[in-house]
Amino acid sequence: MSIEILPLAEADIPGAVDCLQRAFSDDPYFRWAFDDPSKFNVERNAASLSAHFKFGLSCGYPIYIAKVSRATGDYKPNPDREIKLAPGSVVGICWWSLPEQPPIRQTWSVWANSWLLSFRQLMYNIRFAGRGGLNVRRYWIWKERQQEAQDYLWVDPRGYYFCNMLGVSSQVRGMGVGKRLMDVVMQRADEEGIPCYLESSKGFPNVAIYEKMGFELNREIRCVDGEDICKLYCMIRKPKTKS
């Protein structure tokens, strides 16, 4: 088995959604925002993720997947694990937002696709009778805290490549797939001399994993809703080649 890193294609969206849902099933932010498991609707969640991927593709964001292929790959094989995954399976996904330099002007394409995304979400709200278990109050708490953190940390006038989604299937973790997914855009960022940014709600082991990729922990976000607190770790990676 080998694993290829490819740009996301529309046909891969269902596989990418499935991979992401599994990768994030024990994610602290996910559990905080979908706080009542009895209300979680996996199909509504899949519809929302799928709509976001379509939005990302239409806007030209760098979105890459790791896909099982028969071709020779350069991933690190793990002789201790026998892995049987069908060719074509999506085993990793990585989505970046592009850096924006002030004054930030939304392009026509992003504006139009944002409206289309909102419309699709509205239709899903009707079809699935709600947000599928998302605690909307908590979602907005997170959005506000995230904005505060980014306003404080994003001081570089060149902007930041923002990795807002990374997930690797549990069967292939620790084999270099996450790093290969990240490397595509981190190398581009290095060539352009632009920093990278991410937020992770899983401190262990993710902070150590991202430190190995060159990120540094810069700030912690605390999303507080009554007794329930969700922490997110904000990390920045300085460009390697240019300053």
Ligand X SMILES: CC(C)(COP(=O)(O)OP(=O)(O)OC[C@H]1O[C@@H](n2cnc3c(N)ncnc32)[C@H](O)[C@@H]1OP(=O)(O)O)[C@@H](O)C(=O)NCCC(=O)NCCS
Here the tokens at position 96 are 């970046």
Considering only residues 90 through 119, tell me which ones interact with ligand X, judged by CB under 6 A. Answer: none
Select from 30-38, 52-60, 168-176, 220-228 the region that touches ligand X (CB under 6 A). Answer: 168-176
Contact between 51 and ligand X (CB under 6 A)? no
Contact between 16 and ligand X (CB under 6 A)? no
Pairing of strands 196-200, 161-168: parallel
**Burial environment of residue 153 by CB neighbours within 10 A (0 to 12, 13 to 18, 19 or more):** middle
Find the shortest distance in angstroms from Cβ 162 to ligand X. Answer: 11
In the set 60, 87, 88, 174, which binds ligand X (CB under 6 A)? Answer: 174
Find the shortest distance in angstroms from Cβ 204 to ligand X. Answer: 8
d(CA 21, CA 239): 31
Here the tokens at position 152 are 């404080």
Find the shortest distance in angstroms from Cβ 174 to ligand X. Answer: 5
The residue with its CB nearest to ligand X is 178
Find the shortest distance in angstroms from Cβ 186 to ligand X. Answer: 12
Find the shortest distance in angstroms from Cβ 157 to ligand X. Answer: 25
Give residue 173's Cα distance to chain centre: 16
In the set 65, 168, 194, 230, which binds ligand X (CB under 6 A)? Answer: 168
Here the tokens at position 204 are 């262990």
Residue 72 CB-half CA count within 13 A: 0
Q: Which residues of 178-197 are buried (b: 16+ CB within 10 A; e: fewer)?
A: bbbbbbbbbeebbeeebbbb
Q: Which of 184, 23, 27, 169 is nearest to 90 (CA)?
A: 169
**Which CB atom, from 92 or from 159, has the smaller least distance to ligand X?**
92
Contact between 178 and ligand X (CB under 6 A)? yes
Find the shortest distance in angstroms from Cβ 214 to ligand X. Answer: 10
In the set 209, 221, 223, 236, which binds ligand X (CB under 6 A)? Answer: 209
Considering only residues 185 through 204, tell me which ones interact with ligand X, judged by CB under 6 A. Answer: 198, 200, 202
Q: Are 20 and 49 in contact (CB under 8 A)?
A: yes
For ligand X, the binding residues (CB under 6 A) are: 23-24, 27, 166-168, 173-179, 198, 200, 202, 205-206, 208-209, 212
